[in-house]
């Protein structure tokens, strides 16, 4: 019989966090749901109970270090311990860097980066005395590869990557049995694209290929059970992007400069109707939750169900056979690199280089 674990999931009211909470509950785990909102947390708690788990709702802003510490203590008071802590909460802005105010940039950094720092600190405070536990940092391919229009989010994800590596090394040095691991995700079909602050002329969207949040949730649950591995890459697009960035980052810079703006915005009729979609109180969910008093429950899925993939062969391989996953990673990266070198932009860059 599977041992019931005490699990904390931040950002649990929607998207990947919501799907992850359900996935842990399906194992019979006790799940503490941390987020700022109201309706989303209540609905997530109902789903956890229906899936066979035990739910604890804790309303908290992860950018508040003291509030996160208090939330962790509340979980321990209710469940007796914390076995797994999943850092997942984030905030973002879609805009050129020069159109983001200092306060907005600071807020994204505090939620998306410092929220992970505060969550990790709170988890370690309870895990280290027991000398056991797993901390899962939910990352992104953008933790390695920055893209246009998301400078605040990309910067925070890069920071998480470095922070996690540092803490991991310290735990290994101490011989601790507490583990940290990171799960790098691809584009996921979540509601964030309907509530995120955007200054773009069209509705924002994820860059295809898009995966359903359950794909991410399966990887996160697996990582929590196998945290000795330092990192998990989910989705062929993540693998290809990360390795191609290591092989040809300059070429990728120019490719994204040309393609990255349109790839993150709706086209055609959606673009023409963009002005009809009011952005949540003018600030997205940056300062107030989208499921607060004047909002509603958004659930785990966004509006891209029709084009989202329900599974990933790469993710399955990564979970089940590490060596095969490494082979696929290299193959995918080489395929992407080859594809990029055949683009008109690449040909233009080669001609310019020969001209010099």
**Radius of gyration of the CA atoms of the chain, in A:** 20
Other beta carbons less than 10 A from residue 277's beta carbon: 12
Given 113, 153, 211, 280, the catalytic residue: 153
Q: Is 113 a catalytic residue?
A: no
Ramachandran region of residue 179, left (φ > 0), alpha (ψ -120 to 50) or beta?
Answer: beta
320 to 70, 130, 226, 236, 271: CA distances (angstroms): 37, 29, 11, 15, 41
Helix (H) / strand (E) element for 148: namely none
Q: Cα torsion at 107, 109, 111, 115 (round to 10°)?
A: -140
Task: Give one DSSP letter per residue of 243-302, joined into a string.
Answer: HHHHH-HHHHHHHHHHHHHHHTB--THHHHTGGGS--GGGTTTSSS-TTSTT-----S--
- Tell me how many helices (H) and strands (E) the chain has: 14, 12
Active site amino acids: 153
């Amino acid at each position: 019989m599977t041992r019931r674990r005490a699990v904390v999931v931040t950002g649990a009211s929607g998207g990947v966090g919501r799907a992850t909470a359900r996935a842990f509950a399906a194992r019979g785990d006790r799940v503490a749901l941390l987020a700022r909102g109201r309706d989303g947390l209540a609905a997530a708690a109902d789903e956890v109970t229906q899936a066979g788990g035990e739910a604890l709702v804790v309303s908290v802003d992860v950018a508040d270090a003291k509030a996160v510490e208090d939330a962790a203590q509340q979980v321990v008071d209710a469940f007796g311990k914390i076995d797994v802590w999943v850092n997942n909460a984030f905030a973002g802005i879609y805009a050129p860097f020069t159109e983001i105010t200092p306060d907005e940039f600071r807020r994204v950094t505090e939620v998306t980066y410092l929220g992970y720092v505060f969550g990790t600190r709170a988890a370690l405070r309870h895990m280290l005395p027991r000398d056991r536990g797993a901390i899962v940092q939910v990352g992104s391919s953008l933790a390695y590869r920055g893209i246009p229009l998301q400078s605040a989010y990309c910067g925070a994800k890069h920071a998480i990557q470095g922070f996690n590596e540092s803490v991991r090394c310290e735990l290994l040095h101490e011989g601790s049995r507490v583990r940290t691991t990171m799960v790098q995700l691809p584009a996921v079909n979540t509601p964030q694209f309907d509530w995120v602050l955007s200054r773009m002329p069209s509705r924002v969207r994820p860059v295809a290929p898009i995966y359903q949040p359950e794909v991410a949730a399966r990887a996160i649950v697996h990582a929590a059970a196998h945290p000795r591995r330092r990192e998990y890459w989910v989705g062929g697009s993540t693998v290809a992007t990360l390795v191609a960035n290591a092989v040809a980052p300059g070429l990728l810079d120019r490719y994204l400069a040309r393609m990255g703006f349109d790839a993150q915005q709706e086209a055609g009729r959606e673009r023409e109707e963009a002005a009809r979609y009011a952005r949540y109180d003018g600030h997205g969910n940056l300062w107030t939750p989208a499921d607060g008093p004047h909002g509603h429950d958004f659930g785990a899925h966004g509006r891209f169900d029709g084009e989202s993939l329900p599974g990933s062969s790469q993710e399955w391989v990564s979970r089940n056979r590490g060596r095969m996953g490494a082979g696929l990673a290299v193959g995918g990266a080489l395929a992407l690199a080859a594809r990029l070198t055949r683009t008109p932009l690449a040909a233009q860059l080669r001609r310019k280089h020969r001209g010099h």
